[in-house]
Amino acid sequence: MLSNRVKELRARYGFTQSELGKQVDVTRQTIAFIEKGEFSPSITLALKLAKVLKVEVGDLFWLEEE
């Protein structure tokens, strides 16, 4: 399972889901699904999110043992 810190870091920078979505060219719903772990982003989207949230991709997304 893919885990992430998107919600935590989005809140740290004061972005709404909509604002973050606009910065990476996706909808608010996509950000919500990523935060809940219901959607795994493409590599391109993961890189965009990491850039906006000022972290390395590996610090934003990681695999949990199942």
pLDDT tens for residues 6-57? 999 999 999 999 999 999 999 999 999 999 999 999 999 999 999 999 999 9
Give the range of the structural domain holding residue 10, as residue numbers without chain letter. 2-54
Whether residue 42 lies inside any domain: the answer is: yes
In whole angstroms, what is the distance from residue 63 CA to residue 43 CA? Answer: 14
User: pTM for the complete prediction?
Assistant: 0.94
Whether residue 59 lies inside any domain: the answer is: no
CATH of the domain at 37: 1.10.260.40
Residue 66 pLDDT more than 80? no
Whether residue 63 lies inside any domain: the answer is: no
